[in-house]
Structure 1
Amino acid sequence: MDSTFPTSPTYADHYCLGPENQTATATYKSDLTALLDSFSSRASHLSFYNVSLDGIYGLFLCRGDASIDLCRVCVANATQLLPQRCPSDRRAIIWYEQCMLRYSDIDFFGQVELVPYNLRWNSGNTTSPDEGNIGTRGFIYTLVDRAPYSVNMSSGNVIEAGDGTGRRYGHVQCRGDLNVSACSYCLRHLINQSETCCIGKTEWRVLTPSCFIKYEMYPITESPSAPPSANKGKGGNSTRIIIIVLSTLGSVFVAILVGFLYYSFFVRKRSSHLMELGIRLSDEGHGEEMQQFDLATIHHATNKFSWENKLGEGGFGPVYKGKLPNGEEIAVKRLSMISSQGLEEFKNEVKLIVKLQHKNLVRLLGYCLEGDEKLLVYEFMANASLDRFLFDSEKCKAVLDWEKRSNIIIGTARGLQYLHEDSRLKIIHRDLKASNVLLDDDMNPKISDFGTARIFGGNQIEANTERVVGTYGYMAPEYALEGLFSNKSDVYSFGILMLEILSGKRNRGFYQESGQILVTHAWMKWNESKGHELIDPSIVDGCPVSEILRWIHIALLCAQDDPAVRPTMSSVVLMLGSRSVNLPQPLTPPYSAARFISMSDQSSRSLASDQSITSASSLLELSEKSETTELDPR
């Protein structure tokens, strides 16, 4: 790569991370100053340094190909600028093109953190489809594979563009306190991020607190806004820049004017409807993408909620298939007018889903509030839900081969990881099950039904409730028996779902056949080195048995009794994607899960085997206080 650096560091972005309502004390500021003062001297001979001082944790990271002089200057600038930009915050981070610096009152050393992040790309696509789809991806993957094993967890290279337009430059790097597995996971997550926005662009970069990826047309050692060195100083450039700036300003003015008119005439009207539900537009995150449908349009789309268009019945109302005038197929969830809890669930679902954007989450297209009707409009999922295939032996054998099952498991894991760790909110789903995993035309999974989900704020890691919501067979023991739920409750549900996908058997249905629930049976077989007996016979001849046995192992780790020893979803995604990650042994058989299923089976004989429940106080009241949430937008 070109070793010519800019004469001074280039500022990229910063975040003041709070915490809210807790400003830094004078003592904290004094200690922070002392910590930052040590950074400049360290940067004169180190490219990475982390240290703690009286409860303050800080580090700096210089790009692996930066000179010591530039690293020192970059870190010095960062130590001066960040406290000025975030004077009252105990936690903050700043990125330059050549270095990153952060500090916090929480120990983050050795941990993979993917937020906040800075994602930027140019507007131009590569002129060669092969470069965007094949060349770039392969180039970046090569760098990502190499970086975790490099001395400074950094790798960079140059590649000739596939369209003959010149060279492309790439650089990836992790923090020095991460291990190989954590670095690999962080970088591969950024590759996934780039797939949805930038992989076909000529320039893009993703910066996170733990790692980064950069890909550009010019040597990355130069300022990202600089033109190629061959054009520097040539006449006419200044005129061209002025024209571009003036054109851009004109475009910005028009955009602002259009945005103001849109807000005045449309957004205020929609906001008033949401305010009736206690939902403020400013809280919606991606609210500008929400569409308000009128009831006449929904009536026409669903043939006035005809029986033929009905897809299913949930605890909060029926779901109907519809088709909009433009031909787009939709699924409409109609809030039950007799449900005492329906309004709250509706409010919850709107507030949550509108903020979520991930390819493995069902997409909310809009809503309708007219008269007594309260409707949610979703994208239509042509293949309905996973349970329709998984628990039908003929469909399962014909459609769900090993490739599709593995894709469903990985996609669901990534969607759940996004909810727990990567979205703007920390969201606990609380009802993950086969019927709430929807499948699109290509059998890609999307998690659905957020009516019972809960938002966790700040550093909250668990909560307690007297109203237990979920589904028999998928609920974690601590949640079902004590009302305690956390992200580890969802991890337990995911472990059960994995076992069902790999075996083709229902967790509770298996209990009714043999006297054991599936998770207990799976643990016993795996512990006896007979895990291969769990694999669905319809796929066992055409699948990598050793890989499935490893995935059964992962599922059992997720379904352990003690939530503290269950892995996080980011760890699960890492374990699923890399055979080099060593798996710990599950600690104990899932006795509590079996005990809970036995109790619930005795107390609710009349309920369906995959029925969702709402319990106000104890397991003895389950059969009296139950609601079903069987189906969601299809």
Structure 2
Amino acid sequence: MAPSLHNPPFIFFFFIFSFFFFPISSTDTTSLIFKGCSKQKFPDPSQIYTQNLKSLFSTLISQSSQKPFFSTSSGDGGTSLQGLFQCRGDLSLPQCNDCVSKIPSMADKLCGQALAARVQLTGCYLRYEVAGFREVSGTELLFKVCGSIQVAGSGFEERRNTAFEMVENGVKNGGALFYAGSYRSVYVLGQCEGDLSEGDCGGCVKTAAEKVNGECGDSISGQIYLNKCYISYNYYPNGIPSISLGPFNSLVFILFFSILG
């Protein structure tokens, strides 16, 4: 008998047990940023959930070679699972497929038989939940990291806010819910989940930018991950390092320099 998923103990919350950073190259897209796992596990000895999860993973991996975002479900009734993946907007389809293909085995090791989980890598993320879980708000803060170096004055806050406005406008007007660019030594990147409208995406990114100001203060680097979008930035007060970024493999670049910060 399937468990009741509408009682308070089964309300889904992300528990960020840990996060890891690794020395990464400018082409790396599969390093773990964070994981979120529900406390509730698949009922034992039933194998229905695990079979549905395997089927869901197989479909998502297959679709990741054809498109950068896809959502679907697996199974019927109370044992069905909903899931999706999304790749960073500057990845090719082969890169997307390679990134998404890494997640199922990682999810099994990191979250075990959790009834809901999200695994976020540098270049993509995948999440799933059993039917009936209470939805998390699109602007729920899932994860943050702020650089330790602070900078005040010199127009930094104004530069960063202008860069964030560029992201907000870019995701609304670019047609891909993704934007990467720079403004006066502030590099920024933002992306929304593929099922959002352009207007909702702009609103989500704006909320993420506001959370940066509140959570990271004057840090010269930071990343804010909300449930439906994220934003990342890095400021170089002493000049931009003489390194080739390529077509904005810069999220990895930003994450790397955030560690140094």
Please state if 1:183 is matched with 2:201: yes
* Equivalent-residue separation in structure 2 for 1:125 and 1:97 (angstroms): 24
Task: Please show how residues 165-176 of structure 1 align to structure 2 within 5 Å.
Answer: 168-176=186-194
Supply the AA of the counterpart residue of 1:40: I
Distance change (3 Å), C-alpha of 1:178 and 1:112: farther
Q: Of 115, 126, 129, which residue of structure 2 is paired with 1:90?
A: 115
In the alignment, which residue of structure 2 is the partner of 1:157?
Answer: 181
1:143 aligns with 2:143: no
Deviation at 1:175, TM superposition (A): 0.7
Distance 2:109 2:173 in 1: 36
- Which one of 26, 29, 48 corresponds to residue 27 of structure 1? 48
> Is the contact between residue 191 and residue 230 of structure 2 (CA under 8 Å) also seen in structure 1?
yes
Query: Of 32, 36, 44, which aligns to 2:57?
Result: 36
Task: Specify which of 178, 183, 201 is matched with residue 219 of structure 2.
Answer: 201
**1-structure distance, mates of 2:183, 2:131:** 40
Aligned-pair identity in percent equals 18
CA contact (8 A) 1:148 1:174 kept: no
Selected match of 1:72 from 88, 94, 97: 97
**Cα distance in 1 between the residues matched to 2:106 and 2:34:** 11
The one-letter amino acid paired with 2:174 is: S
Q: Does 2:36 align with 1:15? A: yes
**Structure 2: how far apart are the matches of 1:12 and 1:160?**
27
Task: Give the whole-Å Cα distance in 2 for the aligned partners of 1:26 and 1:215.
Answer: 43
1:138-194 CA distances to partner (integer Å, 9 max, x unpaired)?
111121122033322111102232xxxxxx321111111112332222222212211
Q: Any conservation in 1 of the 2:81–2:130 contact (CA below 8 Å)?
A: yes
Q: For the structure 1 residues 181 and 35, does the alpha-carbon distance in structure 2 shift closer, same or farther, using more than 3 Å as the test?
A: same
Shift in CA distance, 59/136, structure 1 to aligned 2, threshold 3 Å: same
1:422-571 map, 5 Å: none
CA shift in 2, pair 1:50/1:135, >3 Å: same
Deviation at 1:226, TM superposition (A): 3.7
Shift of 1:37: 1.1
The aligned counterpart of 2:13 is none
Q: Is the 8 A contact 1:112 1:186 kept in 2?
A: no
- The answer to which structure has the higher strand fraction is 2
Gaps of 5+ in 1: 162-167, 229-243, 245-634
For the residue of structure 2 that corresponds to 1:171, the secondary structure is: strand
> Distance in 2 between the 1:114 and 1:67 partners?
27
Q: Find the counterpart in structure 2 of residue 81 from structure 1.
A: 106
Counterparts of 1:150 and 1:83, CA distance in 2: 36
| Equivalent residues of 1:47, 1:71 under 8 A apart | yes
* 2:164 is the counterpart of 1:134: no
* Separation in 2, partners of 1:17, 1:130: 42
In 1: Cα distance, 2:65 partner to 2:120 partner: 19
Residue 228 of structure 2 is matched in structure 1 by 210
Query: CA 1:134/1:95 → structure 2, altered by over 3 Å: closer, same or farther?
Result: same
* Paired AA for residue 156 in structure 1: A
Q: For residue 67 of structure 1, report the CA deviation from its aligned partner.
A: 2.3
The one-letter amino acid paired with 1:65 is D
Letter of the 2:105 counterpart: Q
CA change 1:142–1:117 in 2 (3 A) is same
CA–CA separation in structure 2 for the residues paired with 1:149 and 1:225:
26
Q: Deviations over 1:212-252 (max 9, x none)?
A: 00112575243545469xxxxxxxxxxxxxxx9xxxxxxxx
Specify which of 81, 93, 104 is matched with residue 129 of structure 2. Answer: 104
Of Structure 1 and Structure 2, the greater helix share is in: 1
Q: Can you list the C-alpha shifts for 1:484-530, whole angstroms capped at 9, x where unaligned?
A: xxxxxxxxxxxxxxxxxxxxxxxxxxxxxxxxxxxxxxxxxxxxxxx
Corresponding residue for residue 8 of structure 2: none
Within 5 Å, which residues of 2 pair with 1:118-517? Answer: 118-126=143-151, 128-131=153-156, 133-161=157-185, 168-217=186-235, 220-224=250-254, 226=256
In structure 2, what is the equivalent of residue 367 of structure 1?
none
Change (3 A) 1:48 1:111: farther
Q: Counterpart of 1:117 in 2: which secondary structure?
A: strand
- Structure 2 equivalent of residue 507 of structure 1: none
In structure 1, give the amino acid aligned to 2:58.
Answer: D
Distance (Å, rounded) in 1 between the aligned partners of 2:166 and 2:92: 24
Give me the whole-angstrom Cα distance separating, in 2, the residues matched to 1:11 and 1:33. 21
* Conservation of the 8 A alpha-carbon contact between 2:29 and 2:124: no
Distance 1:223 1:11, change over 3 A: farther
Any idea what the Cα deviations from partners look like across 1:6-61, whole Å, max 9, x if unmatched?
Answer: 2452210001024x376474111111111101222211121111111122110001
Q: For residues 70 and 114 of structure 2, what CA distance do their matches in structure 1 show?
A: 21
Report if the CA contact (8 A) 1:124-1:201 is conserved: yes
Preserved CA contact (<8 Å) 1:6 1:221: no
If the length of structure 2 is used for normalisation, what is the TM-score? 0.74
The SS at the match of 1:60 is: strand
Q: 1:227 to 1:178 in 2, by over 3 A?
A: closer
- Alpha-carbon separation, structure 1, partners of 2:197 and 2:74: 23
Query: Residues 205 and 194 of structure 1: is their aligned pair in 2 closer, same or farther, counting only changes over 3 Å?
Result: same
Contact 2:28 2:252 in 1 (8 A): no
| Cα deviation 1:552-606 (Å, max 9, x = unaligned) | xxxxxxxxxxxxxxxxxxxxxxxxxxxxxxxxxxxxxxxxxxxxxxxxxxxxxxx
User: Do the aligned partners of residues 211 and 33 (structure 1) sit closer, same or farther apart at CA in structure 2, a change above 3 Å counting?
Assistant: same
Which one has the largest radius of gyration?
1
- Code of the residue aligned with 1:32 in structure 2: it is L
Aligned length, in residue pairs: 218
- Offset, 1:209: 2.4
**Given the superposition, is the C-alpha separation of residues 21 and 7 from structure 1 closer, same or farther in structure 2, using an over 3 Å criterion?**
closer
Q: Which has the higher contact order (CA 8 A, sep 6+)?
A: 2
Equivalent position to 1:6, from 27, 38, 41: 27
The answer to whether the Cα contact below 8 Å between 1:10 and 1:223 also exists between their aligned partners in 2 is no
Instruction: Say whether residues 1:56 and 2:77 are aligned partners.
Output: no
